[in-house]
Amino acid sequence: MNNKIVRMKVLVTGAAGFIGYHLCINLLNANHSVVGLDNLNDYYDPNLKLARLKQLGIQEQCLSENVLYNSSLPTKNFKFIKLNLEDREHLPILFQNEKFDIVVNLAAQAGVRYSIENPFVYAESNVMGFLNILECCRNNNIEKLIFASSSSVYGLNEKIPFSTNDNVDHPISLYAATKKSNELMAHTYSHLYGIKTIGLRFFTVYGPWGRPDMAMFLFTDAVLNNKPIKVFNNGNLSRDFTYVDDIINGIISIINKFDSINFEDSNYKIYNIGNNKPVKLLEFITEIEKTTGITAQKEMMPMQAGDVESTWADIDNLIADFDYEPKTNISEGVASFIEWYKEYYKKN
């Protein structure tokens, strides 16, 4: 496999999000040119998104909609635009002006449970927004697209580990249904227009700068602030917790080796990207207790609607095609997150 790295111009949607921010940092450190896009919605605290952007040299006062701003960091070839994916006027203009080599679509309305309460937001962002991305790729001769799917597409699949060969026709949340829709839409555009697309089913990503609605953040915040933590399904849950650096290393490897992949006749591939080592939720909480030195107050709760008991990623294909190798164990990852959390929120 040819490992020569070619400098590229990359569009990263969801650039102010958790994974998008880390990807931008890594791409810039590898001397790629990056344009970041995000709508900075208030699904969770926008101040965290603004703080991520500040690390990329984008100041809050420079965030008028549909305006492309240059990073203030002199060594970073980074631009940012505040824009909705579903904006059919301004997104095509961005594509026409910037002429990207590759698009990495990480923007989406996130959250399984929120999708039950606010379904239309998911249809607009995750379905219409992704269709707009596909159309912009088609109309601007973009031949390489990587997009975020989710482990949630497996629904109530009882066979573990989850394989990309498994049937995923039974999602149990609208969020999962929109991600399955993205896969079908990408496959269609790959077939019709020759766009080479790679979909990544993410498995429970955690780490510094992580989302406040995710277990790692919720549990740490509760423990350090002497609040009870809600343990759903009475703790009988396990997740394939995957540290963000391992996820990013996987995406970077895909970007670097994209031209070497044999797409055969379909121009479309789907991969799981996870740790391949599920951890029981109570063990995860124990690691937080060990690192903080505080015993968690556990409030045992029933199963939540739209949730599943366990996730576990079969990553054999990703290993075979991209030499993917998750390296961060749960104790290292938890310690790293808590260190960031204490520094960011100025906790002793």
Catalytic residues: 175
Quickly list DSSP for 174-205. HHHHHHHHHHHHHHHHHHHH--EEEEEEE--E
CB-based contact 30:252 (threshold 8 Å): yes
**3-state secondary structure (DSSP) of residue 234:** helix
Q: To which H or E segment does residue 38 belong?
A: strand 33-38
Structure tokens at 217: 């953040």
Residue 260: DSSP 8-state: G
Report the C-alpha gap between 335 and 274 in whole angstroms.
19
Burial letters for 225-252: b for 16+ Cβ neighbours within 10 Å, e otherwise?
eeeebebbeebebbbbbbbbbbbbbbbb
CB-based contact 255:8 (threshold 8 Å): yes
CB-based contact 171:120 (threshold 8 Å): no
